Structure 1
Amino acid sequence: MNASGPGFPLASLYVGDLHPDVTEAMLYEKFSLAGPILSIRVCRDVATRRSLGYAYINFQQPADAELALDTMNFEVIKGQPIRIMWSQRDPGLRKSGVGNIFIKNLEESIDNKALYDTFSTFGNILSCKVVCDDHGSRGFGFVHFETREAAQQAINTMNGMLLNNRKVFVSHFKSRQEREAELGVQAMEFTNVYVKNLKIDIDEQGLEELFSQFGKMLSVKVMRDDSGHSRGFGFVNFEKHEEAQKAVMDMNGKEVRGQLLYVGRAQKWAERQNELKRRFQQMKHMKQDRLNHYQGVNLYVKNLDDSIDNERLRKEFSPYGVITSAKVMTEGGHSKGFGFVCFSSPEEATKAVTEMNGCILGTKPLYVALAQRKDERKAILTNQFIQQRLSNMWALGGPVLGSFQQPVSYFLPTVPQPPAQAACYGSGPPVQPAPRWTAQPPRPLTTYSPAASMAWSPATSQRSPTHISSVKKASTQEPHQMSYTQTVGMCPRHHVQVQEPAVCLPGQEPLTVSMLAAAPLHKQKQMIGERLYPLIYNVHTQLAGKITGMLLEIDNSELLFMLESPESLNAKVEEALAVLHAGSPDHGGGADESECN
């Protein structure tokens, strides 16, 4: 196997067909046996953060990557065989189809490894895959050779041969565009006609009588169920394309014994599925284009007087710009009290909102704002509801910490810090913990390793090297202050210890995408860290700083998702623990990481 072939990173592997639960830690444990690893990245969906089923592994030495490819290909991880190939930076090489062949009519027992072993005699294989579904092999697969000559030799030798007593067909791979072009040519020369909406008492003889006027028919068939009753559709195969085309033009939509017939070109199941998929994609794109077109220019106007119609609405808003549409929503001919005005530019829409919101039109003051999609409105209302509930909780009996004073130093204290406790109501002024820590100056940062990872501390909401462990406690405390090691907030009457919720400190709002986007870049990680640290501290007190620092290396969108999803957060924390215990290398940049999205 040549590790330095065209288009290959010298020591980078692509690992596909991964189980959704496979993590970087699992791959490191497996592949580190082959040699030192620079980085591992499991590619995930940007929105859901679920695994996409493949990963990239960068070795320090090409020989180690080649050893992993030769010895670990098709091994099983979490009950699923993995597929390894050299990573290719150039997407044009992967998509060109040069050296790629298609094999069909495979016997069910032939898997990736068996196909690889069969075709590896013809040349160096870049990729090999048998296509499967939930029920197993679908009977076809692909083999991508390094050279066109190896692919042609495989076709010449294997096409028509028996594999496990089944004759296989081998040909050059054709892209979807090429296949669709061929189907288009075939569609222009069709002879088979599909007929539906037939009366259930119409049999083959009746169907033949309906279509005999158009020309010679080679076959006529009415489809039936298991009991022999007509399923209401059938097929008519003509000798010539012109005859079939005339039958479609004349009979489609024609009424026969009280039912309108549908007559069209007969299509294979796969062709019908592809056509429906194309239509769905077109509708999806049209909807997205429509949403993008109206983004920032469409206004929602409510509290309209009953006398306001479309013309009056357009007239009142016309001084602020060019209006492309104005409509009052009605029901049964009566106004529903709201409508929409669409401008030609966002600037015009913004000016209209500023001038018209609160303006009295007729007898009512208008409410004017940018129109929002249903999912956006729902998210905003949900966020407002949560904030209101949190405000009520603090007002009715939530934890009271007063003016919480953060430690002066940003290094983690050596003494564990229990979560801040609430003062008992009716027991005097709240006790305010305000320890003051001093520490050594920070050393120069080193490359990441479990022994010297970046830890995060709530002291100043920053990350610091945890290998600096010389931490001293201040010798004096201000009145009414206690150290973190003391128990705070015990209620003498009920002996109940009330703890502060982990998600928000007093006065904090739940972190939202809009709040994060409004903050400067250097503040965004700080804001997220202030939410993450208490959640992790409740479970892993000693390692909370290290784990928080590791998680803050993740993209902000995934961190927000983790704050809302305890399952996702727990999974990432477990991954971080595994890396800390195993001594995993830097998960930073490596070959082909940009291809994950």
Structure 2
Amino acid sequence: MAAMEVNVVPELPQTLSALYVGDLDGSVTEEELRRYFDQVGGVNSVKLCMDLNQQSLGYGYVNYTNPRDAEKAMDALNFTHLNGKCIRIAFSKREQTQSKANLFVRNLEQTINHKDLHDIFRPFGKIMSCKVVTDSNGQSKGYGYVLYKHEESAATAIQHLHNELWLGKELYVVPYLSMQEREAKFTNVFVKNISATTTEDDLKAIFGEFGSMTSVAVMRDEAGNSKCFGFVNFQSTTDAARSIEMLNGREFSGKEWYVGRAKKKANREKEMKLERERIALERPLDVNNVYIKNIDDGVDNDKLNELFSPFGTITSCKVMIDKSGISRGYGFVAFSTGEAASRAILEMNGKMIGTKPFYVRVAERKEARHKRLQSIFSSQMMVPPVAPQRPFFYGNGAQSGVNYQQRFVPPRVPMNPNFMYLMAQCHGSSQPAHPLMHPQLPLRGFRSSNCSIAQAMPTQNTLASALANAPPREHNNMLGVYLYPLVQLLEPAMAGKVTGMLLEMDQTEVLHLLESPQSLATKVMEAMNVLTNASQHRNWFSCP
């Protein structure tokens, strides 16, 4: 289709000297990016955006001294190949553009890529950015966006391309609307719980009182029977909203209708999930059901029943096992009354059974447990630095003014050669990761096919006994001596912060982390997620 050439304003404002460069190959470095864009003019600065592991995010920014050089780079280098991958360039100062110059394009043929879309819309004006949305495999989703410099260009593009055939498909070209705008301008209404005898004509008669409709449908199965729901699409958003207000909850043919805004399946499922989580969190705990963690391998269902039966009538008792029949180290005991469960928790929590102390609590649902742990970790972000009652020291002896609530600073202690050897093995190096371990407490082997933090764990029985004989004010420091080096193996950069967060948990749960490498890794990951989210929210991290 021949498109009209539209005159554009030749002048570029001085702000348009920064370019966004996307779809970069992971091997591209900042120096390569600078050399590539230096071909067309003087590059002032280059920034390749990285994640927290210093891996390329696949995009970056190039700033030119002269805006005209940026324009030349846009024309000469857009959709060219760098390290074997086609790059996409856009002006990054989008706040200078007009909102009505942004277009949404739908019903694109699958073979149309970024460059093809750019070529289709280029005759109508200066394009600031152009993109076809793709899935994780790089396949087109059939829609995209075109941002012009001027509103007039966008209006002309709509006039000439909307409803036009392109490669056998009719293009749908309209001004782009944000999610909030789209939600506010809905016209499609969903009606359910209608009678099986209700027809399209019935819906037209009822909804027609509120305004003009473009379509009405009652959904039916393959046999033509009503599924008892349907859709009414209005011409006006106001009419659609008024029909919902007036008809939702009204009774027709003995049925109370639900009338609401029609939503996509993905949005409905997301809302339903949030509602289920809300209900689960608000629902009271099952106080009759007790959760036991840190169970010794020698404890089976019968043994667990024997241990907890003195506290009341047990309705069910189970130690969880894996596919091989091996204990997972936790289980549940359900009592007939909440009083029996409370007695069991009071008497059994922290009690040494076999080689491990039991961790006993009221059973929590997954959502509630996650929220509680999130609250524990998040609360640490709000605790201001305070001077500790007894000083902690870095390994080099420098005193810290921050207590474990902000960051655990391990005390200086003699090195344990066995522990140092295991730490070095785990790092694949002859040099240890950190010279910390209490010399009097022995190490213990774990079932593991490879060297891991499991080999560096202390003996639970010995540590629990040491804690029992120490004053409470010393407990966190003693646990931290063991915990810090293990956390450092997993998260070296944030080991002190994460250790401090974990030490806020129940003492028996911390002992369990020292016993279970898998549980420790999970909790460290949860803590890092909280730290990362909080850092991003407060803009603590930025693109390097």
TM-score interval w.r.t. the shorter chain?
0.3 to 0.5
TM-score by length of 2: 0.45
Whose relative contact order is higher, 1 or 2, with alpha carbons under 8 Å and at least 6 apart?
1
